[in-house]
């Protein structure tokens, strides 16, 4: 029974590791998308790079905020598992 729990914990840990690794790709993709959209808006409205920079900063801020929320959720789950097994 304990061996099954250990295996499940390893699978859960691997899933969490893959999830956190994917956030790097999400950050890069969101940044580039906002850069391109911001550049298109700047060219369309004949403005400086204000929209491009603003959307880029927004994308980074929102991605990091979401990653922080995901980290807190995972940290609480791990804390609950450790308390349960202690």
Predicted confidence (pLDDT) per residue in 4-30, tens digit: 766 766 777 777 777 778 888 888 999
| Helix extents (H) in 1-86 | 2-45, 50-85
| pLDDT computed for residue 82 by the predictor | 65
Q: What angle do CA 35, 40, 45 make, to 5 degrees?
A: 125
How many Å apart are CA 67 and CA 63, to the nearest integer?
Answer: 6
What Å distances lie between residue 84 and 6, 10, 75, CA to CA? 13, 16, 14
The rounded percent of the chain whose pLDDT value lies above 70 is 85
Number of domains within the chain: 1
Six token digits for residue 11:
């699978």
- The domain of 37 spans 2-85
| pLDDT computed for residue 55 by the predictor | 95
Higher pLDDT, 86 or 59: 59
């Amino acid at each position: 029974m304990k061996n099954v729990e250990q295996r499940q914990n390893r699978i859960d840990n691997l899933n969490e590791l893959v999830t956190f690794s994917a956030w790097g790709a999400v950050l890069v993709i969101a940044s580039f998308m906002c850069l391109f959209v911001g550049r298109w808006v700047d060219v369309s409205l004949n403005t400086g790079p204000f929209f491009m920079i603003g959307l880029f900063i927004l994308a980074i801020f929102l991605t990091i905020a979401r990653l922080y929320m995901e980290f807190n959720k995972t940290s609480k789950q791990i804390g609950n598992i450790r308390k349960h097994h202690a």
